[in-house]
Each structure stands twice: as structure tokens, then as C-alpha cells.
Amino acid sequence: MMKERDGGKALLFENVVGYRTQVLSGMCGTKHRLALAIHKTENQLHAAVNDAINQPIKPRVANDGPVKEVVDSPKLSSIPILTHYEKDPGPYIASGIVSAKSSDGTIENVSIHRMLVLDDNHLTMRIVPRHLYALCRMAREKGKNSLDIAIAIGLHPAVLVAAASPAPFGVSEYGVANAMMNGSLTLTEIGNSGLRVPADSELAFEAKILLDKEVDEGPFVDLTGTYDIVRKQPLVEVTKVHHRREYIYQALLPGGSEHKILMGLPYEARIFQAVSGTVPKVTSVNLTSGGCGWLHAIVSIEKQTEGDGKNALMAAFGAHPSVKHVVIVDEDIDVTNLQDVEWAIATRLQADRGLVVIPNARGSSLDPSANQEDGTTTKVGIDATRTLKKSIEKFAKARIPE
């Protein structure tokens, strides 16, 4: 059902066999719904994300909240955590955020991680070399064998977008979410470690990443719709569960539209900002669904000089290291209409001057055609903007008058 309705209306499963808990899926399955959640239009989403990253707002912290209505010992099998595909090694939490702090409490990080359920109080999670990875390394360097974390599920869309955003290390993603929510986010502490979760979360775990214990994680169907490789990842011990009395479990279909939008939107915004610093005007950015919401970017610009297209290509590759193929088009091309984009490639690209090939570059470990051990790939940039050496009328679509 989730696969069949992917990208359509959100789904609420009210009668889940074997559980009293309802399951929600697809809440963030369209950009339109994300825009509604933060009181913006779709055209304002990129600016809203960038503004929030650049000007985060410290959230309010309350002593209590709905997520604290019930406190239980961990029993993950009592939660309707989904197994999504036929070769999954077990149930996966795909919509949870993980919050952690440095040992001195000065750095707070909030990020999204896939989490494989191993038993009633153990998980393992994929930790890529970014901010949570850095906090784990810092803890090891101080001689610690574990890192306290909080895991929250059932969240406002802005919190999920913020947790997926490329905010600088040291900037709390909760502040980014609060800025997108116009200051309405309230946090609450769970446990004795000072870790915080949104007070209106449906469900939250107190947990520890065991830094000296690793287990197999995967295979997992990621953004590409293919299985990611099996890796050794840290063991996570869940020590306590907090939840609303009648909580709803928020699910996310791996490789589905919700997954692509949540991961891709913050990087569209980052590409928009980076290219805007290179060429006079950027019209729009789209990380395409066919490119897994991650590997293919289309950027429209208002070209003013020859070479603007290539400068835009380099800025886009720099802004999103995982992107594999980038197409730069003119402002009259709709980046969400792939037929329009293909038409631009057909009528405006000359490969000898508009094609850029970059071998052995850092790419995405999710790409099955890349070297998934060291993350290198070959990238291709396509400058499909019209040359300024010919009249603009040469490239205009013919129109039938009314």
C-alpha cells in the first residue's frame, strides 16, 4: 500500500495487526505538504531552508511534554517498526532523528539515521563520516566507550528537514527547525544526559552508541531503490522509551518520495545558494526523482556571459558532494519537466564545449556503479545553456498565436 500510494496522499493505518498503535506514512511525501507545514509556498522552500541554516533560533525548553506521558523499559518488538522489502535483514526505523552532544555540552547535533532493530533493546545504525561520526570520534579520544543519544520519532516536518540539512558543525539543527517554524518549537530533556527531543514527539528513546562494539548493518534499500552494502556499524543500546499514551508511529518508505524529498530538499537549497554566489541569477534547482532525489541535479540560471554555465556546474558539484550528474539550463526551461530539460540538451548542448567529465571524484556510497568502499565516482556536467554568440530567437520555442 505504501509503495502503491507513494507520492500521493499521506496514509494512516488505523488497525495494524498485532499492535494497538496506528502507523502514519507519507506525511512529507510532497513538497507542497512540506511548504504548507511551514506556511510557505513551494517556490519559497529553498530560501526558507537557507535562511534557517544561516539564522537559527534557539528553541524553548520545557520540563514536560506529550512525549513524556508514558515511560517504559525498552521493548522494541511492541512498536510497529516496519520491515519494508523482501531482503531486509529485519525491521528498520527510517524516520527517526538522533540527537547527541559533545562531552562538554557545547556542540549539539541532530541528524537522521537508518536504524536496524536487532532485539528488544538493541539497534545498529549507519553513521556516515559527518557530524555524529565526529562526536563519536571525540568521545573515543576522551577515553569513553559509549556516547549518549536520544532518538525521536513522530515529528513536525520542519524537524525532519532540519535534521537532514547540511548545517555547519556546531549549529544545532533544532535551531534550524525552530527558525522554519517561526519560533514555535519546544524541546524537553529526557534522561539525565541533558539530551533533548521535541516535546510533542510521538515517541522517544534514551540510548547509547557503544563505541567499542560493531555488528553488521544492512543490506538496506536506500535512495537509489537498490540495496546498500553490508557494513560493520556501532551497536546501540536502548535504555528507556518515552511516548504519548496513544502515540502514532511515523513510518517512511525507504527509496520512496518522502525519503527523496527529505534528503534532497536541503541540498537543493544548498546548491541554490552556492550557484547564486557564482552566477548573477539562479531561477530554480531540482534534484530529480529519477536521479533518486540525490544523484541528478538540474539548475536553471539567467546566463549573462559565456562560461556562466560551467561556473554553475562547478558550484553545484562543490555544494553537494554526492551529486553525480548536473545539467545547467536557461531560465526558460522548467527544471521539473524532464521533457523540457531533454529538449534543452538536444537543441542547446554542443558536447565539445558543454560537457565536463570529472573522474575519480568523491561521490555517493549509495551508487551501486561507484566504488562503494572509498566512495569515488566519475561525475558528468552538462552545460545545456544557449550560446550567446547566436541570436536568442534561434533557441526560442515556436508558438501558435491565440
Q: Whole-angstrom Cα distance, residue 381 to residue 366?
A: 19
Helices 173-180 and 45-54 sit at what angle, rounded to 10 degrees?
130
88 included as an active-site residue = no
Cα distances (Å, whole numbers) of residue 337 to 61, 278, 328, 386: 44, 24, 14, 18
Q: Whole-angstrom Cα distance, residue 118 to residue 147?
A: 19
Cβ density class 207-241: b for 16+ within 10 Å, e for less: bbbbbeeebebbbbbbbbeebbeebebbbbbbeeb
Q: Whole-angstrom Cα distance, residue 357 to residue 352?
A: 11
**Active-site choice (200, 222, 228, 383):** 222
Q: Whole-angstrom Cα distance, residue 371 to residue 363?
A: 9
Beta strand ranges found along 14-77 (DSSP E): 22-25, 60-62, 70-72
Strand-pairing partners, residue 208, are: 148, 237
Instruction: Give the rounded distance of the alpha carbon of 304 from its chain centre.
Output: 33
Positions marked active-site: 222
